[in-house]
Amino acid sequence: MGLKAYLPAALVVFLAATTGADVYARITIGHEHFSPALSDHFYWAVVQFVGTLLLLAPFVGVAFVCAYVEKRARIRSAILIFAAAMLVLFYFYFQGHQAAERAVVAKMWTAATLSIGLLPFFIGIPVILVAMGAAALAIKLDRCAIK
pLDDT in tens, 14-73: 999 999 999 999 999 999 999 999 999 999 999 999 999 999 999 999 999 999 999 999
Cβ atoms < 10 Å from Cβ of 11 = 14
Q: Which residues 6+ apart lie within 8 Å of 37 measured at CB?
A: 22, 23, 26, 27, 30
- Give φ, ψ of 31 to 5 degrees: 55, 35
Q: 144: pLDDT confidence band, cut at 50, 70 and 90?
A: low
The pTM of the whole model exceeds 0.75: yes
Q: How far apart are CA 54 and CA 71, in angstroms?
A: 27
**Of 42, 72, 62, 51, nearest in space to 140 by CA:** 72
pLDDT, residue 2, reads 87
Give the model confidence (pLDDT) of 81-114 as tens digits.
Answer: 999 999 999 999 999 999 999 999 999 999 998 9
d(CA 100, CA 24): 12
Number of H helices, E strands in the chain: 8, 0
Return d(Cα 18, Cα 71) in angstroms, integer.
Answer: 30
Helix (H) or strand (E) holding 40: helix 34-47
Between residues 147 and 143, which one has the greater pLDDT?
A: 143
Residue 143's pLDDT band (cuts 50, 70, 90)? confident
